[in-house]
């Protein structure tokens, strides 16, 4: 099983949810307003007068076989508009 953490511009929320449905994923945890700034480039997302946009974040757990297609869709979305910001990270987890 894997955990997938996604941080993305709030404008992507419906598309990320759609990817989940297409991948057969149901459960997730969502943080609606997340502030941050990318490591390499892109504008900050701070929700203030200078940088008004905000990010959202999502954490989901899925079987290993599900994530390659999900991550491929996320990568394509990020490449379509890189300045908007979308990052994802996955790691193996133990379920006792």
Domains of the chain in start order, with CATH, are: 2-92 (3.30.70.120)
CA distances (Å), 59 to each of 6, 16, 83, in order? 6, 11, 22
Partnered with residue 91 across adjacent β-strands are: 3
- Write out the H or E segment, with its range, that includes residue 37: none
In whole angstroms, give the CA distance from residue 69 to residue 90.
13
Q: Tell me what pLDDT residue 36 has.
A: 83
Per-residue pLDDT at 72 = 93
pLDDT of residue 46: 81
- Which segments in the chain show pLDDT lower than 70? none
Predicted pLDDT at 82: 84
DSSP 84: T
Question: What pLDDT, on a 0 to 100 scale, did the predictor assign at position 44?
Answer: 80
CB-based contacts of 90, cutoff 8 Å, min separation 6: 2, 3, 4, 5, 67, 71
Q: Are 33 and 47 contacting, i.e. CB atoms less than 8 angstroms apart?
A: yes
Task: Please provide the size of the chain in residues.
Answer: 96
> Could you tell me the two tokens for 4?
């997938």
Give the tokens for residue 49: 């007068």
């Amino acid at each position: 099983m894997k955990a997938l953490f996604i941080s993305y511009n709030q404008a992507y929320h419906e598309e990320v949810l759609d990817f989940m449905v297409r991948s057969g994923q149901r459960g997730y945890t969502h943080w609606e307003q997340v502030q941050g700034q990318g490591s390499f480039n892109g504008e900050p997302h701070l929700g203030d007068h200078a940088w008004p946009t905000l990010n959202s974040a999502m954490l989901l757990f899925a079987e290993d076989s599900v994530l390659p297609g999900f991550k491929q869709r996320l990568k394509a979305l990020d490449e379509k508009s890189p300045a908007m910001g979308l990052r994802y990270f996955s790691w193996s987890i133990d379920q006792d």
